[in-house]
Amino acid sequence: MAIPAVLAIVPIGVLFILSGLIVNLMQVVSFILLRPISKKLYRKINKVVAELLWLELIWLIDWWAGIKVELYVDSDTFQLMGKEHALVICNHRSDIDWLVGWLVAQRSGCLGSALAIMKKEVMFLPVIGWSMWFSEYFFLERRWTKDEITLKSGFQQLEDFPIPFWLALFVEGTRFTQAKLMVAQEFAASRGLPIPRNVLLPRTKGFVSSVSQMRSFVPAIYDCTVAVPKNQPPPTLLRIFRGQSSVVKLQIRRHPMQELPETADGIGQWCKDVFVTKDALLEKYFAKGAFSDQQLQNIGRPMKSLIVVLLWSCLLGYGIFKFVPWSALLSSWKGIAFSATFFVLIVIVMQILIHSSESERSTPLNITPQDQTKERLVQK
């Protein structure tokens, strides 16, 4: 890791980990004391509490790295965003697609109720994974016999969700890489399917289950397409920590849930057709530079995330300033060794979070013409 990245990761890591542990503690207390009494009240409070942590990541994008997200969506849909439940599907193009989704959710007022279907390992990530568990994210084990039960149970829990939520589903099942694209192309060719050039083949089991279980109380699907200009490196968490800016383009199309077919086969084919359309859109963009025919919306850069980070910095800074003299932490070798160990642990935890977001470490694409049953339903 480059020295500038280390110099950024240590102070940001201290802020994120300490504030995150406080948020996790608040979530534990509300989960134990409030949820048994009123699940509705718990969810509303947890939305606010979770945002106290997640806004720090929005600050990283908006204010630290200056990532520019260009949102293309028609005005009617833009006005509805954050005011209705929605199932969100998207191609998984970069390491920070989920952060881009969080940023758009924050602009729409539903960051704390932005949910996702993810692989189970994410639940164990320090601070961030724990906060997702308390926020009722779905965590899958890559075994459909168990995952089907998990999904059905989760969908039933969402029926009485008291505030508008977005449930994100990356139906490709893993993040895009050229190696995975080659596997997908070979599979498509062997099956006589349209050969993708810019997306992977969608895994439709989870999508079919989502639509079948939620169509009665979720009015819309937000069909998202993410693109990163070819003339710049794809954004990563490490680049963000280094303060390196980039541009991410996002198109959203709203599809009313009632317009989808009723049968499982029909729903699955609808999803496949959507990804063929995404592939054509991306192919046109990379060839001609024209990304979308939708209206470019001004999503601005709100001060809220900056204020939250400043408040956390003041609170934790004051606490550390008072604690160090009181504990005489730096007056003995044991105290110095403890402090050094603490900073090493911070770096290790931040490395784990960075590595978990990297495309090269994402779920392998293991589909072959001989064994289609190896399709996995894991989001990240």
CA separation for the pair 199, 172 (Å, rounded): 8
CB-based contacts of 359, cutoff 8 Å, min separation 6: 94, 95, 175, 176, 177
Least confident window among 33-47, 77-91, 171-185: 171-185
Query: Residue 320: is its pLDDT beyond 90?
Result: no
CA separation for the pair 292, 283 (Å, rounded): 12
What is the mean predicted confidence (pLDDT) over 275-282?
A: 96
Q: Could you tell me the pTM of the whole model? A: 0.90
Contact between residue 141 and residue 147 where contact means Cβ atoms under 8 Å apart: yes
Map residue 263 onto helix, strand or coil: coil
Contact between residue 138 and residue 117 where contact means Cβ atoms under 8 Å apart: yes
What is the mean predicted confidence (pLDDT) over 314-322?
A: 91
Tens digit of each residue's pLDDT (9 = 90 or more) over 194-213: 999 999 999 999 999 999 99
Query: 238-260: buried (b, 16+ CB within 10 Å) or exposed (e) per residue?
Result: bbbbbebebebbbbbbbbebeeb
Tens digit of each residue's pLDDT (9 = 90 or more) over 245-272: 999 999 999 999 999 999 999 999 999 9
Query: Residue 66: is its pLDDT beyond 50?
Result: yes
Beta 68-72 vs 296-297: how paired, if at all?
antiparallel
pLDDT at 365: 57
pLDDT at 201: 94
Contacts 24+ apart (CB under 8 A), 106-109: 106/51, 106/54, 106/55, 106/58, 106/302, 106/304, 106/305, 107/71, 107/299, 107/300, 107/302, 108/81, 108/82, 109/82
Least confident window among 52-66, 70-84, 205-219, 228-242: 228-242
Report which of residues 9 and 108 the model is more confident about: 108
What is the mean predicted confidence (pLDDT) over 181-190?
A: 93
Percent of all residues in the chain with a pLDDT value above 70, rounded to a whole number: 92
Closest listed residue to residue 12, CA positions, set 60, 68, 58, 52: 60
Contact between residue 223 and residue 42 where contact means Cβ atoms under 8 Å apart: no
pLDDT at 360: 58
Closest listed residue to residue 251, CA positions, set 109, 89, 99: 89
pLDDT at 4: 59
User: What rounded mean pLDDT belongs to the chain?
Assistant: 90
Tens digit of each residue's pLDDT (9 = 90 or more) over 324-378: 777 777 777 777 887 888 888 888 988 888 887 776 555 665 554 433 433 433 3
Tens digit of each residue's pLDDT (9 = 90 or more) over 76-111: 999 999 999 999 999 998 888 999 999 999 999 999
Phi and psi of 309, rounded to 5°? -65, -40
What is the mean predicted confidence (pLDDT) over 8-24?
A: 94
**CATH 1.10.60 holds for 3-304+353-358:** no
pLDDT at 337: 84
